Amino acid sequence: MFYSRFIFLCLFLITSSSAWPMGHVSTQTDEGPLIGKAAPDVVLTKSDGTSGSVIGSRQGKKAILVFWATWCPHCYEDLGTINDNIASAEQKGIKIILVDVGETKEDVNKYFNQRQMKLVSFVDEDSFLQGAYHLIGVPTLIFIDEKGIVRSMTHAFPADYENYFDVNK
């Protein structure tokens, strides 16, 4: 019993963020403290050096807010899918907004460059949004409608992502 607690404590202390990797849990959740409420917003710096409002960047469109981290293997898979499908999503009127949790702009840029991804991410170095969005791990995807209301969430990028906006309208 002591040994298992010791291992857990060590893992907790060496984790770079308090958000844990979630794995590919693709179950859509339409219950929770934010569902049906306005999406919390903050101004953050992006990996390209600009800054702006996270939710405001959706420009009145539906948005998928993707919380991720460079150390998360499941995020790597989802970011590859997003990188390949971002143009298609935007043609459907859906903005994909990335938010790296707990790392630096330099970490994010190095990660994107090494993987040859043409993505830009907000960088939440202080993990401020982690509390506002009640994150329990990464990846976490929040589906926000055109009015800025949170409709659902999941922990993996779904093939049928367009359907995640129609929950509880």
DSSP per-residue string spanning 80-96 = HHHHHHHHHHHHTTEEE
Asked if residue 40 belongs to a domain, the reply is yes
Q: Name the residue range of residue 56's domain.
A: 18-165
Asked if residue 68 belongs to a domain, the reply is yes
* Confidence label for 32 from pLDDT (cuts 50, 70 and 90): confident
What's the rounded Cα separation, in Å, for the pair 128 and 79? Answer: 22
Asked if residue 11 belongs to a domain, the reply is no
User: What percentage of the chain has pLDDT greater than the value 90?
Assistant: 76
Q: In the chain, how many domains are there?
A: 1
Token pair 């994010």 is found at: 108
CB 69 within 8 A of CB 138: yes
CA angle 20, 138, 141 (to 5 degrees): 155
pLDDT of residue 29: 61
Which residues does residue 101 pair with via DSSP β-bridges, in sequence order? 124
Asked if residue 22 belongs to a domain, the reply is yes
pTM beyond 0.85, yes or no: no
Domain CATH code at residue 65: 3.40.30.10
Asked if residue 115 belongs to a domain, the reply is yes
List, for residues 57-68, the tens digit of each pLDDT value: 999 999 999 999
